[in-house]
Amino acid sequence: MSAEKELRVRPIRNGTVIDRILAGQAMNVLKILGIKGAYSDVVTMAMNVPSKALGQKDIVKIENRELEEKELDKISLISTGATINIIRDFEVADKYQVELPEIVESMVKCINPNCISNTKEPVTSKFEVKKDPVQLRCIYCENIITENIAEHLL
Amino acid sequence: MRFERRHIISMKDFTRDEMEYVLDRAAKLEPLARGGRSDLLAGKILALLFYEPSTRTRMSFETAMLRLGGNVLNLGSKEATSIVKGETLADMIRVVSTYSDAIVQRHPSEGSALMAAEFSSVPIINGGDGAGHHPTQTLLDLYTIRKESHLDNLDIAIVGDLKYGRTVHSLTYALSLYGANITLVSPPQLKMPDQIKADLKARGARVRETENLEETLDCIDVLYMTRIQKERFPDPTEYKKVAGAYKITTGHLGNVRDSMIIMHPLPRVYEIDSSVDTSSHARYFEQSFYGVPIRMALLTIVMGVGV
Ligand SMILES: Nc1ncnc2c1ncn2[C@@H]1O[C@H](COP(=O)(O)OP(=O)(O)O)[C@@H](O)[C@H]1O
Ligand SMILES: [Mg+2]
Ligand SMILES: [Zn+2]
């Protein structure tokens, strides 16, 4: 199978492969998953892998973990085309593309320091999502985030 | 009407029909605003929560309420400061909404009115949320234009701080629904943001930009002046130069249309010379007064009282 050539490190038995990540975003995906220094399971990351469809892509593989809804939503914000491959017993058991949510709540910090969502008030941030390119519009102050969304993730 | 017992947060919540509904009701109530007596809102209580200073907005809401036979509760400025330190706005709203039939709020954070609406059991009227929205100002501006000039086929020049001025952003938004012909007059550092201009055009307004006030004066129906704030200019001499260039005096009025009117949301500083006050073009004090019938209209609507 052609995937053999891509498997530079040992295959995982159970876990998740996040494929077709926008080149350059793999580190941010790790950040979203809370993988910083010490982590008990096998994690592999590949950056700037040649890809027919994308030119280049990043890949992240994590053993023994399936992702939560919120993590998937965050990944969709920084890499709309990423695919999630659930690996069970070395085989791809399920495969789907991340989906941009219409509203993101408590995931992103508003860039406007004077926004009510950035005060001690009991409100969490809430954005409307627009596609192509991804734009987040704060429902409170209407400021729009278009660039470096990864930097504003909560 | 969609706003019965509902919140009034932003002009973007209004369709053109809804704006006109408010203006028509204000026209009906104008005689009462001029000193009539009424008990339309007898037994109703309006809470005024002003976390920032305000004269016109706060007082015209109070006047509107009192002239309609209602009562007001005021958050004193001392209380406001102690609250700013401790209690959240959300808690304040939860409490005050159990004391009143509607709340007018001014607060320095953008989005504070929308948040208040989430916690309130009575309608919230946004009296200004930081650099965000101030819909009652826009409605009184529209009322003034409709009454003292005309809303259809309007040629209007808007002068001053077009970058940060929230008044200007919501006014131009509303005028774009009428396909107005808008000339934006400002110094280069205070030009209207591109996104807002693009939105205006997309909605059918014609928009032109210039730095030159004098060249636009003779072909407009409305001259809408705004204040240029000193704080926007790090260099005081630069501020002086700009303030001088965007100041209107009687000397400018020689060739203007007879029916041209001059508006200003007030307070003015240098933008309009006091010699203009007695000219037949000045309308800024009338404009200020029209805040009363507009606020009467809004109060009766959100409190669900027919007129
Ligand atoms: N057992 C495994 N261990 C690690 N990676 C795997 C495993 N099985 C598949 N993959 C990786 O998961 C992704 C999806 O696999 P596959 O469905 O075969 O390919 P594609 O999506 O490119 O058609 C590929 O990046 C592949 O290398
Ligand atoms: Mg493959
Ligand atoms: Zn915001």
The pLDDT of residue A1 is: 46
Name which residue sits closest to atom 14 of ligand 1, judged by CA: A85
**How many domains in chain A?**
2
Taking only the tens of pLDDT, chain A with its 154 residues reads 455 565 556 889 999 999 999 999 999 999 999 998 888 898 999 999 999 988 999 999 999 999 999 999 999 999 999 999 999 999 999 999 999 999 999 999 999 999 999 999 999 999 999 998 999 999 999 999 998 999 999 9
* Pairing label, strands A103-105, A126-130: antiparallel
Note whether B254 and B110 are same-domain residues: no
What is the per-residue pLDDT across B210-255, written as a single tens digit (0 to 9) for each?
A: 999 999 999 999 999 999 888 888 888 888 888 888 999 999 999 9
C-alpha of residue A95 to centroid of ligand 2, in Å: 12
Note whether A148 and A117 are same-domain residues: yes
Note whether A84 and A123 are same-domain residues: no
Block means of pLDDT (10 residues each) for chain B, length 307 residues? 82 94 98 94 97 91 98 80 78 96 96 98 96 95 98 96 88 95 95 91 95 94 93 86 90 96 94 97 98 98 94
Note whether B156 and B181 are same-domain residues: yes
CATH number at residue A90: 3.30.70.140
Using the CB atoms, write b or e for B276-301: b if 16+ within 10 Å. beeeebbbbeebbbbbbbbbbbbbbb
**How many domains in chain B?**
2
**A92 touches ligand 1 (CB under 6 Å):** yes
Give the domain extent around B78.
11-133+290-302
What is the per-residue pLDDT across A31-58, written as a single tens digit (0 to 9) for each?
A: 999 998 888 898 999 999 999 988 999 9
Note whether A107 and A135 are same-domain residues: yes
Distance from CA of A108 to the nearest CA of B (A): 16
Name which residue sits closest to atom 4 of ligand 1, judged by CA: A11
Note whether A118 and A73 are same-domain residues: no
The pLDDT of residue B76 is: 72
Of A115, A122, A142, the CB nearest to B109: A115
The pLDDT of residue B217 is: 96
Note whether B230 and B99 are same-domain residues: no
The pLDDT of residue A152 is: 96
Q: For ligand 1, what atom is nearest to the CA of residue A1?
A: 18
Q: How many Cβ contacts (< 8 angstroms) between chains A and B?
A: 48
The pLDDT of residue A10 is: 80
The pLDDT of residue B65 is: 98
Residue B26 included in any domain: yes
Q: In Å, what is the CA distance from B289 to each residue of B34, B101, B140, B182, B296?
A: 9, 24, 9, 25, 12
Give the domain extent around A121.
103-152
DSSP at B8: B
Note whether A19 and A77 are same-domain residues: yes
